[in-house]
Amino acid sequence: MPRLFTGLELPPLIADHLALLRGGLEGARWIDRENFHVTLRFIGDIDHGTAREVVSALDRVRRGPMTLEIDGLGAFGGNKPSAVYARIVPNQELVALQAEQERIVQRLGLKPERRTFVPHVTLARCRGLQPGAVAHWLALRGSIMRLTFEVDRFVLYFSRDSVGGGPYVVEEDYPLVA
């Protein structure tokens, strides 16, 4: 069964800048630069027939290109940190694209996403790390400059079996055209 999700790729220069943040958090599992992305909708493990339906349904998405902005760093998990990430400023176009994909997968019979959409780029997995260590890492790097980039397509990723963080393979791409 394929494990699928939709997302937005990062331009190489943005990925290079974020890769410079790696390190300084002992025990973190850092995501490889080539696997940085913005997840729109995690679809999960599905059968091949449903995967074909997802590919076809996503092909009907008609949205224009958009500008995204990274405005800082954050962590998921509170007192039990699970990941550190670069925060993406939500904008109307991004939220609408994600919501449309959510409706599409639900119409295909998949369960609704239970988590609120928080646009971000995961930099590292932090399970088992002390919250103070994560807070310290964020405090030292929290003032990253704002990074802006253009997005002109979204992709359907296939996630190979691993312990989180890739490798991810682009199965299909869908242009965002005005």
**What is the band of 145 on the pLDDT scale with cuts at 50, 70, 90?**
confident
Cβ atoms of 124 and 23 closer than 8 Å:
no
What is the pLDDT, as a whole number, of residue 161? 64
Q: Where is pLDDT greater, at 163 or 123?
A: 123
Query: Is 155 a residue whose pLDDT tops 90?
Result: yes
Structure confidence by residue, pLDDT tens digits, 57-72: 999 999 999 999 999 9
Token digits of residue 143: 């003032």
Structure confidence by residue, pLDDT tens digits, 45-54: 999 999 999 9
Query: Is 166 a residue whose pLDDT tops 70?
Result: no
Q: What is the DSSP string of 75-102?
A: EESTTS--EEEEEEPP-HHHHHHHHHHH
For residue 127, give every residue at least 6 positions away whose Cβ sits within 8 Å of its Cβ, in sequence order, or none: 81, 82
The catalytic residue positions are 37, 120
What is the pLDDT, as a whole number, of residue 2? 79
Structure confidence by residue, pLDDT tens digits, 73-118: 999 999 999 999 999 999 999 999 999 999 999 999 999 999 999 9
What is the pLDDT, as a whole number, of residue 162? 57
Cβ atoms of 166 and 31 closer than 8 Å:
yes
Distances (CA, A) of 61 to 49, 88, 104, 119, 178: 20, 22, 9, 19, 12
Give residue for tokens 């890492």: 137
- Cα 131 to chain centroid, rounded: 22
Instruction: Report pTM.
Output: 0.93
